[in-house]
């Protein structure tokens, strides 16, 4: 089977490419390198000793995507091609709505024109909103999102669900990620944010490597064991293997299925900092700052459905996540 990864040079896309190639799939990557690097794809080939077909193109460019899909005839599309910074989405909502929704519509239209009937979508736990108590399960109704990024994920899920109602041959798997961290154990590929990191782990690693002075922990007075927010952190390679399971499942199913990809085990911000310091024997300067608008105290997954239906569950520990994150950062202090 041949899989087209839209946005496949990014953090989750590149790790998923490794997992797919290891599982025997052919991989085609389409990426505009807006927040990624062609070097990541080169390193995927280096790690797997297998070729990756790479196209530099925007997933919202219908003519380009159609040409690529006609040429490659993929059996399935995995859609990673989205902007993903929460804070940036608040400052640039139109850019986020335009990019994230346009890429989804373009991919679906080009799939229809070329006869590709399977898509796996990179969604987010943010669609559960503030209304649903943890742990979140797939039967819960979607909630109100707190930022434009979250709303784009919610809207794109709706577009995909409506498309599947209209086309009974379309198979859609919606993967709701919790908090991916870590890197490939080789240290050759990892998270490479441009500018100031929006996520916790890259900030921690950049403080550890000397690029940032200190970490600010947003809020130390939540109703949690240590006062900091609890989240479901998942190793990016476990997440990548979840995509392989989703592709295998989706190959034989039409309609829409939703799966949480998480561990079901919440950790606090200070758990991450303390474990990182302990396993890597390095100190990370931090301070407790004020709460950040829109942050919920506790968010974690009920991952039972993925285990039952996909036969997938996260295997790697928090120590593995912290060790692999540091292995990537210390060996690539400037990223790619």
The catalytic site residues sit at: 149
- 147: its two tokens: 């930022």
- Nearest-angstrom CA–CA distance, 78 and 169: 17
- Nearest-angstrom CA–CA distance, 273 and 278: 9
Residue 14 host element (H or E): helix 11-22
- 224: its two tokens: 């949690």
Q: Identify whether the C-beta of residue 201 lies closer than 8 Å to the C-beta of residue 181.
A: yes
E strands present in 184-281:
215-218, 230-231, 233-235, 255-261, 267-268
* Residue whose pair of structure tokens reads 């797939």 in the numeric block: 138
Count the neighbouring beta carbons within 10 Å of the beta carbon of residue 133: 10
- Nearest-angstrom CA–CA distance, 268 and 301: 14
């Amino acid at each position: 089977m041949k899989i087209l990864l839209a946005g496949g040079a990014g953090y989750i896309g590149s790790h998923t490419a490794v997992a797919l190639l290891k599982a025997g799939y052919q991989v085609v990557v389409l990426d505009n390198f807006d927040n990624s690097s062609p070097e990541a794809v080169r390193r995927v080939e280096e790690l797997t000793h297998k070729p990756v077909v790479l196209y530099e193109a925007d997933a919202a460019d219908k003519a380009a995507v159609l040409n690529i899909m006609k040429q490659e005839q993929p059996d399935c599309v995995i859609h990673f091609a989205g902007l993903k910074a929460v804070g940036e989405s608040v400052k640039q909502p139109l850019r986020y709505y335009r990019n994230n929704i346009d890429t989804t519509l373009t991919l679906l239209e080009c799939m229809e024109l070329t006869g590709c009937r399977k898509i796996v979508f990179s969604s987010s736990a943010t669609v559960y909103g503030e209304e649903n108590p943890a742990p979140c399960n797939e039967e819960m109704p979607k909630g109100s999102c707190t930022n434009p990024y979250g709303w784009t994920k919610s809207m794109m899920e709706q577009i995909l669900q409506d498309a599947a109602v209209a086309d009974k041959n379309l198979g859609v798997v919606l993967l709701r990620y919790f908090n991916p961290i870590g890197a490939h154990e080789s240290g050759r590929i990892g998270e490479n944010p441009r500018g100031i990191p929006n996520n916790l782990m890259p900030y921690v690693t950049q403080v550890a490597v000397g690029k940032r002075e200190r970490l600010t922990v947003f809020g130390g007075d939540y109703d949690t064991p240590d006062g900091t927010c609890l989240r479901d952190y998942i190793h990016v390679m476990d997440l990548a293997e979840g995509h392989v399971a989703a592709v295998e499942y989706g190959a034989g199913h039409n309609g829409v299925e939703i799966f949480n990809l998480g561990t079901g085990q919440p950790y606090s911000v200070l758990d991450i900092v303390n474990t990182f310091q302990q396993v890597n024997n390095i100190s990370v300067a931090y301070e407790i700052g004020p709460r950040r608008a829109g942050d919920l105290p506790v968010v974690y997954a009920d991952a039972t459905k993925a285990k039952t239906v996909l036969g997938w569950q996260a295997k790697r520990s928090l120590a593995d996540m912290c060790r692999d994150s540091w292995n990537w950062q210390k060996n690539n202090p400037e990223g790619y």
